[in-house]
Amino acid sequence: MSAAWQRPGARRSFRLVVFLALIITFPGVLFPRQASPGLLWAQSAKYPQTIVFMTDFGVVDDSVNICRGVMYSIMPDVRIVDLTHQVTPFSIPDGARFLFGATPYYPAGTVFVVVIDPTVGSTRKAIVAKSKRGQFFVLPDNGLLTLVEQRDGIEGVHEITNPEWMIGTRLSSTFHGRDIFSPVGAHVARGDDWNKVGPEMPVASLVRLDLKAPHFDDRGVTAEVIATDGPFGNLVTNLSGEDFLKLGYQRGQDVTVKIGEKEMKIKFVKTFSDVPLNQPLMYIDSRGRLGVAVNQNSFAATYGVKPPVELFIPRAGK
């Protein structure tokens, strides 16, 4: 190393040149700043709009993909997410439950197209609703929004009557998924003014499911098994884990439970493997509700339980 480079002044000059070069080349790294609203919009705009699609159509025939084709024909770059097309046929409560479980994981602006429509072609209304979270719902007015409304609130509702938002010169009386809900969902996702879909409706006029709430008394709680969990046969209840814990149970305890006419003792645990194979258990499921299962088997099949059925759990120590 030369004597000139060893001088302090030379080293300081070199570091200054390097520092200035970094500022010019990478200003955002050394001096980060908050993105402007315009930049944030530009970043979000590069992602395609999302339609979340759910039906009870199944996947045996062409119904689902016909609906998808209608959406793509109106908005070719839309992103369609299939939530499920295996909803129990005609089960509005199951559709409402799946919608309630999924919506928190999608951003404002997402459009949900839902077709569980056992009274298709009748006087029931087809609607577009906007929640207070900024999500849109295109579906029949038959109670599907009940749980979402209870949690998120509904900001506004319009009945679908505008033929320009539908397809075909003659609407089918049995396939409104294709002729009404799919095209309207695509129009809303595209950013068309959803107020033009038809007349505004009072939110209070929405059809709502008549859902039973768990009932507590001095003896314990009377709740309900409302469904089974997918292909696994776990029981889904309408009792939240938070309310169950108010009965005084701790993990590791046996709980005496009456399901329909069957009374049994089931261990309350954290997860399935906390009991031996083929043994029953109670747990708080991933959606925060009390669940009943068999480790690596179906509780519903093993014990012959078919929802809906009453569930009674006494207070701890009773």
Q: Which two tokens stand for residue 81?
A: 């997410």
Task: Look at residue 42 and tell me whether its pLDDT is greater than 70.
Answer: no
Q: Taking the alpha carbons of 136, 142, 148, 150 in that order, is the dihedral positive or negative? A: positive
38 falls within a domain: no
Does 48 share its domain with 168? yes
93 falls within a domain: yes
Residues β-bridged to residue 136: 111, 130
Does 58 share its domain with 186? yes
Average pLDDT for 149-172: 92
Our count of domains for the chain comes to 3
pLDDT of residue 230: 80
Domain edge (last residue) among 157, 184, 205? 205
Does 270 share its domain with 226? yes
Does 154 share its domain with 248? no
Domain extent, residue 104, equals 44-205
Average pLDDT for 134-162: 97
55 falls within a domain: yes
Does 189 share its domain with 84? yes
210 falls within a domain: no
Contact 88/94 with Cβ under 8 angstroms?
yes
Give the pLDDT band (50/70/90) at residue 149: very high
305 falls within a domain: yes
Q: CB-based contacts of 182: which residues, under 8 Å, 6+ apart?
A: 67, 68, 70, 71, 113, 167
pLDDT of residue 19: 54
> pTM here?
0.80
Residue 242, CA distances (Å) to 152, 154, 233 in order: 20, 26, 23
> Around Cβ 173, how many Cβ atoms within 10 Å?
10
Q: Tell which wins on pLDDT, 167 or 67.
A: 67
pLDDT in tens, 56-102: 999 999 999 999 999 999 999 999 999 999 999 999 999 999 999 99
pLDDT of residue 8: 55
Does 179 share its domain with 245? no
CATH number of the domain that 282 lies in?
A: 2.40.30.90
Does 225 share its domain with 105? no
115 falls within a domain: yes
CA distance 206 to 153: 12
Average pLDDT for 123-133: 97
